[in-house]
């Protein structure tokens, strides 16, 4: 048996594929369009691995996806592929609707056809696991309870709105056609192979170059941080034992203000690669993100109670591992900060006061 992983050359997808194969999982076919966020270097350690096949392609190309499903007859589709960065969705929402909404729809259509062609135990065992985000639930005040699976959707950015739309399509394919879907809504991830446009790797990369650390607004926005390996383990558990049609919220139980995250990164860097005067002096408050969500927090009681999942890494241990990884992988960071990356930095930060 094989699984099909979409977006497997991106941050979380590549961590998932590497962890899956290291845990002696069955063969993986990775389908990825290799946008700016997709990087084959993330999968370089799989060179010569007979259980892995990489296919460059778009989830929105339904005939190509149908051909891939007919060829490999996977027992599951694990769907990571997406445009994933809120700031980019503010500058250019079209691509988010195209991939996250239309692309997921095409993928669902292809998966439905594949599943309907299966018989007996193959049909019963098939799963479509949709990887989504806590951002679909909108923004919490400091005193609100954390997001549960029953929290009403209230997405605020083009990114979260497009993910919300894809979640609704996935849900509808279960209710209407019986497609055995699973949806996971996870909080902010960090760890190896994260593209340095997101908070954690951007701050590490800038700090190492002695550049300003741009904190949006007052820096008191709260996110619930989860080490990527813990997210991957949760997805494996949901795929193995989750109930079709159900949603599972995944979170680190590690709410931190952005400024606390930046302080933790500065301190971890100082411990591992000391800089004269330290790194905290590089912090620069800049103009806020439009429509910036104030707080996200996940209530992960369902996945803990039903599947026995809880994160292995604490925030502190995960941040230290991550900083070490970026220090040890300077060549990877240099490679991804290419021409396109420089243009993005100018677009997003150039005009921020």
Taking phi over 0 as left and psi of -120 to 50 as alpha, with beta for the rest, 191 belongs to: left
Distance CA 153, CA 192 (A): 30
Q: CB of 124: closest distance to ligand NAD in angstroms? A: 26
Residue 182 or 261: which CB sits closer to ligand TYD? 261
Residues of this chain, 36-95, that bind ligand TYD according to CB under 6 A: 86-87
Distance CA 295, CA 217 (A): 13
How many residues make contact with ligand TYD (CB under 6 A)?
13
Determine whether 197 is an active site residue: no
Residues of this chain, 149-168, that bind ligand NAD according to CB under 6 A: 163
- 58, 134, 167, 224: which one is catalytic? 134
Rg of the chain over CA atoms, in angstroms?
Answer: 20
Binding site partner of 162, from ligand NAD, ligand TYD, none, Cβ cut-off 5-8 A by kind: none
* Alpha helix stretches (DSSP H) within the chain: 11-22, 62-72, 86-91, 94-96, 104-117, 120-125, 158-177, 199-208, 228-241, 258-272, 301-307, 315-328, 330-336, 339-349
- Of the candidates 74, 196, 214, 311, which one interacts with ligand TYD according to CB under 6 A? 214
Question: Binding of ligand TYD at residue 223 (CB under 6 A)?
Answer: yes
Question: Binding of ligand TYD at residue 185 (CB under 6 A)?
Answer: no
Question: Binding of ligand NAD at residue 13 (CB under 6 A)?
Answer: yes
- 135, 167, 197, 299: which one is catalytic? 135
Residues of this chain, 289-328, that bind ligand TYD according to CB under 6 A: 289
Q: CB of 128: closest distance to ligand NAD in angstroms? A: 14
Distance CA 321, CA 313 (A): 9
| Helices 315-328 & 258-272 angle (0-180, nearest 10) | 50
Residue from 130, 144, 91, 97 nearest 293 by CA? 144
- Of the candidates 221, 225, 297, 311, which one interacts with ligand TYD according to CB under 6 A? 221
Determine whether 159 is an active site residue: yes
Interface residues toward ligand NAD, by CB under 6 A: 6-7, 9-13, 32-35, 37-38, 58-60, 80-84, 99, 103, 131-133, 163, 186, 188-189, 195
Catalytic residues: 134-135, 159
């Amino acid at each position: 048996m094989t699984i099909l992983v979409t977006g497997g050359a991106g941050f979380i997808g590549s961590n998932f594929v590497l962890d899956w194969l290291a845990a002696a999982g069955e063969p993986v076919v990775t389908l990825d369009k290799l946008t700016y966020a997709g990087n084959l270097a993330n999968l370089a350690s799989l060179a010569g691995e007979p259980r892995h096949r990489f296919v460059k392609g778009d989830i929105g190309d339904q005939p190509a996806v149908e051909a891939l499903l007919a060829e490999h007859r996977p027992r599951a589709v694990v769907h990571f592929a997406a445009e994933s960065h809120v700031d980019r969705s503010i500058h250019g929402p079209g691509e988010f609707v195209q991939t996250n909404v239309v692309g997921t729809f095409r993928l669902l259509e292809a998966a439905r056809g594949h599943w309907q062609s299966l018989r007996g135990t193959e049909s019963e065992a098939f799963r479509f696991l949709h990887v989504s985000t806590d951002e679909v639930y909108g923004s919490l005040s400091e005193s609100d309870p954390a997001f549960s699976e029953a929290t009403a959707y209230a997405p605020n950015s083009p990114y979260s709105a497009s993910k919300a739309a894809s979640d609704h399509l996935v849900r509808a394919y279960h209710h209407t056609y019986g497609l055995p879907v699973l949806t996971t809504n996870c909080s902010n991830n960090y760890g190896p192979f994260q593209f340095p446009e997101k908070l954690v790797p951007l701050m590490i990369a800038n700090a190492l170059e002695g550049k300003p650390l741009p904190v949006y607004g007052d820096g008191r926005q709260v996110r619930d941080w989860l080490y990527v390996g813990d997210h991957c383990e949760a997805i494996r558990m949901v795929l193995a034992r989750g109930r079709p049609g159900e949603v599972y919220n995944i979170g680190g139980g590690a709410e931190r203000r952005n400024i606390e995250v930046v302080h933790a990164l500065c301190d971890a860097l100082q411990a591992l690669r000391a800089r004269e005067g330290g790194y905290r002096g590089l912090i620069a408050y800049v103009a806020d993100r439009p429509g910036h969500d104030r707080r996200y927090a996940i209530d992960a009681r369902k996945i803990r109670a039903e599947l026995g999942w809880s994160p292995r890494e604490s925030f502190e241990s995960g941040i230290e591992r991550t900083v070490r990884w970026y220090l040890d992988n300077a060549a990877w960071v240099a490679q991804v900060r290419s021409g396109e990356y420089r243009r993005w930095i100018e677009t997003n930060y150039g005009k921020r006061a």
